[in-house]
């Protein structure tokens, strides 16, 4: 039995991503961005974000909690807040300190590199999730998003493809995790828990 | 300090260790509950790898000692029980960790 608090914290955090639903959410969100760019559907990412966010929460109630139970983390809100604040500070630092060094007007630079900044921010957000919740595959997602936008910026890959490739990959990865999760755990109640243990 | 004094001090420190928490299964339950605000029984049984009977017996002892608060409810017709560390439980666990650290350093 492990009683190392650091390991236990990591194990508890891991359970939030054990079902792959948040991976699928990220994948669908990126796909929505790709379709927005491709077919000029400006409202799609916002609509997908809201709809699928609630869908994931509902699916967690239906799929995840009856299988592995639920824990409310002490640090959950403060960690989330820290992540958001750190993300904002990093972006603000980039905008305030880095851009003037490039000897270009802010607006001009932002317009010229908007796509790169947007996708890089998503990659940074994915890396933050990987870091805060100790989920290593999210580092790979961050890298994938970054590589695709680099290919767009300097090699000439279509912008919508730079969303669709990582979006589809991440969605499929999440789906594979979900299938593995469903195979590993059966629905349990307190009455039959010993029969459904791993 | 003479060797005799030193060893008697160690024995005294060992006697101060909270034996209720010191038992490995209960220590594991306390450790899990210390990093969350609350957790349901299913989660704790899955994470600790204990059998239901073993888990029930240990968490009952922790509840009787006032270290754990237990809330029972029904979701549909199925029982659902949520546990959390009480204030006394958090304090006792903190003290236990402090004593163990001191003893082992």
Q: Which residues of chain B have pLDDT under 50?
A: none
Average pLDDT score, chain A: 83
Decide: B33 and A8 in contact? Cβ < 8 Å: no
Could you write out the three-class secondary structure of A2-70?
Answer: CCCHHHHHHHHHHHCCCCCHHHHHHHHHHHHHHHHHHHCCCCHHHHHHHHHHHHHHHHHHHHHHHHHCC
CA-based nearest distance B25→chain A, Å: 8
pLDDT at A21: 94
Nearest to A11 among B40, B47, B81 (CB): B47
Cα(B27)–Cα(B58) distance, integer angstroms: 10
CA-based nearest distance B17→chain A, Å: 16
- pLDDT category of residue A155 using cuts at 50, 70 and 90: confident
Rounded to two decimals, the ipTM of the complex is 0.76
Decide: A151 and A162 in contact? Cβ < 8 Å: yes
A151 DSSP assignment: I
Domain spans of chain B, in order of start = 3-104
Which residues, listed in sequence order, are joined to residue B79 by a DSSP beta bridge?
A: B74
Asked if B36 lies within 8 A of A72 by C-beta distance, the reply is yes
Give tens-digit pLDDT for A95-131. 666 656 665 666 677 677 788 888 888 898 899 888 8
CA A190 to chain centre: 32
Residue A125: count other Cβ atoms within 10 Å of its Cβ: 19
Give the global pTM.
Answer: 0.77
Nearest to B43 among A1, A70, A197 (CB): A70
Nearest to B35 among A74, A185, A190 (CB): A74
CA-based nearest distance A50→chain B, Å: 27
Joined tokens for residue B1: 């300090």
Q: In what order do the strands lie in the sheet with B68-75?
A: A71-73, B36-40, B78-85, B68-75
- For the segment A8-29, the average pLDDT, to the nearest whole number, is 89
Cα(A153)–Cα(A162) distance, integer angstroms: 10
Cα(A100)–Cα(A83) distance, integer angstroms: 26
Joined tokens for residue A193: 């828990």
pLDDT at A188: 78
Cα(B32)–Cα(B62) distance, integer angstroms: 13
Highest mean pLDDT among A66-75, A139-148, B73-82: A139-148
Topology of the domain comprising B3-104 = Arc Repressor Mutant, subunit A (1.10.10)
Degrees, nearest 5: CA angle A90-A94-A100: 160
């Amino acid at each position: 039995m492990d009683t190392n608090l650091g390991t236990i914290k990591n194990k508890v955090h891991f359970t939030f991503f054990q079902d792959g639903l948040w991976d699928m959410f990220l994948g669908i969100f990126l796909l929505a961005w790709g379709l927005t760019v491709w077919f000029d559907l400006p409202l799609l990412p916002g609509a997908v974000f809201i709809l699928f966010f609630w869908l994931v929460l509902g699916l967690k109630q239906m799929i995840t909690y009856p299988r592995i139970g639920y824990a409310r983390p002490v640090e959950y809100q403060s960690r989330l807040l820290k992540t958001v604040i750190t993300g904002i500070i990093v972006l603000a630092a980039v905008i305030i300190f880095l851009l003037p060094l490039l000897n270009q007007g802010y607006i001009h630079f932002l317009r010229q590199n908007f796509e790169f900044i947007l996708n890089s921010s998503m990659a940074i957000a994915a890396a933050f999730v990987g870091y805060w919740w100790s989920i290593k595959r999210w580092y790979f997602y961050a890298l994938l998003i970054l590589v695709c936008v680099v290919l767009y910026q300097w090699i000439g890959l279509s912008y919508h493809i730079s969303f669709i490739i990582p979006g589809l990959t991440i969605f499929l990865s999440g789906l594979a995790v979900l299938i593995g999760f469903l195979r590993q755990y059966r629905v349990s109640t307190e009455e039959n828990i010993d029969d459904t243990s791993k | 300090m003479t060797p005799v004094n030193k060893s008697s001090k160690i024995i005294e420190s060992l006697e101060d260790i909270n034996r209720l928490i010191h038992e490995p299964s209960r220590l594991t339950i306390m450790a899990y509950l210390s990093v969350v605000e609350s957790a349901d029984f299913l989660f704790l049984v899955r994470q600790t790898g204990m059998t239901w009977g073993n888990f029930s017996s240990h968490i009952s002892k922790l509840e009787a000692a006032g270290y754990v608060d237990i809330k029972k409810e029904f979701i549909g017709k199925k029982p659902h029980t949520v546990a959390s560390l009480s204030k006394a439980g958090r304090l006792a666990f903190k003290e236990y960790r402090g004593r163990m650290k001191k003893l082992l350093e």
